[in-house]
A and B are shown apart, each in its own frame.
Chain A
Amino acid sequence: KAGVTQTPRYLIKTRGQQVTLSCSPISGHRSVSWYQQTPGQGLQFLFEYFSETQRNKGNFPGRFSGRQFSNSRSEMNVSTLELGDSALYLCASSLALLAGEGDTQYFGPGTRLTVL
């Protein structure tokens, strides 16, 4: 079974631009979570989607947004990019067989975003 895939793997943008990152969860997985990883702050939770609904949100500004499609694929968008947004953005998927039941989260390889 294929793992979590993220596209693109690398991205270079300039300040003020916006960016969209994509995540395809493991087949059959219904929950998708997004995390930002930086050397200084480590791994920080951005948001989680289940059945096209955002169920949980971390402490990030409104410039960070996401959505989930009916096939469970998810995208996250960052508008008005800042230098500090340079990071590895990770997506994780979970089976979530029963709504509200936690289980193992499997991470993708991430998208490395560099903001110049």
Chain B
Amino acid sequence: QQQVKQSPQSLIVQKGGISIINCAYENTAFDYFPWYQQFPGKGPALLIAIRPDVSEKKEGRFTISFNKSAKQFSLHIMDSQPGDSATYFCAAREGSNYKLTFGKGTLLTVNP
């Protein structure tokens, strides 16, 4: 049972474009939704995170949009750059425990 579904599996955008990655979850007890960025040979690094009491959170070029009723959240990368090329994972966590449930990941390629 895949509790967090992520799409698309891969994404190619041009430099300066907008990258959008979507996630949907099933467990309504999830209350913390982070996005991680992973480069080859590195561990995942936290990009931005949101809790369900807000519908949007922005940090620089990265924005999370959250739709609690639809149980969906998405990552928008504005003005995408070749350096953003990486694998992006959405995740969800329930309560105060430390078990992250991850989506399968999206391989983003930003062409110069």
**Residues in chain A within 8 A of chain B (CB atoms):** 4, 31, 33, 35, 42-45, 48, 50, 55-56, 58, 90, 92, 94, 96, 100-102, 104-110
Contact = CB atoms under 8 A, between A and B. Distances in A.
Interface stretch (B20-28, B38-46, B55-63, B66-74): B38-46
A4 B96 CA distance: 21
Given A45-B99, A105-B34, A107-B44, 19 more contacts: A42-B103, A42-B105, A43-B44, A43-B91, A43-B102, A48-B98, A55-B98, A56-B99, A90-B43, A90-B44, A100-B96, A105-B98, A105-B100, A106-B45, A107-B43, A107-B45, A108-B43, A109-B43, A110-B43
A90 B42 CA distance: 10
Contacts of B44: 43, 90, 107
Contacts of A105: 34, 46, 98, 100
Contacts of A4: 43
Contacts of A33: 98-100
B46 A106 contact: yes
Chain B: number of interface residues, binned into ranges: 20 to 34
B46 A104 contact: yes
Contacts of A108: 43
Chain B at the A interface: mostly helix, strand, loop or mixed? loop
B89 A43 contact: yes
A114 B42 CA distance: 17
B81 interface: no
Contacts of A92: 43, 98, 100
Contact of B104 (A35, A42, A48, A55): A42
5 contacts: A35-B100, A43-B105, A45-B100, A56-B99, A109-B41
Given A43-B102, A102-B32, A104-B49, A55 B42 contact: no
Contacts of A104: 34, 46, 49
B97 A48 contact: yes
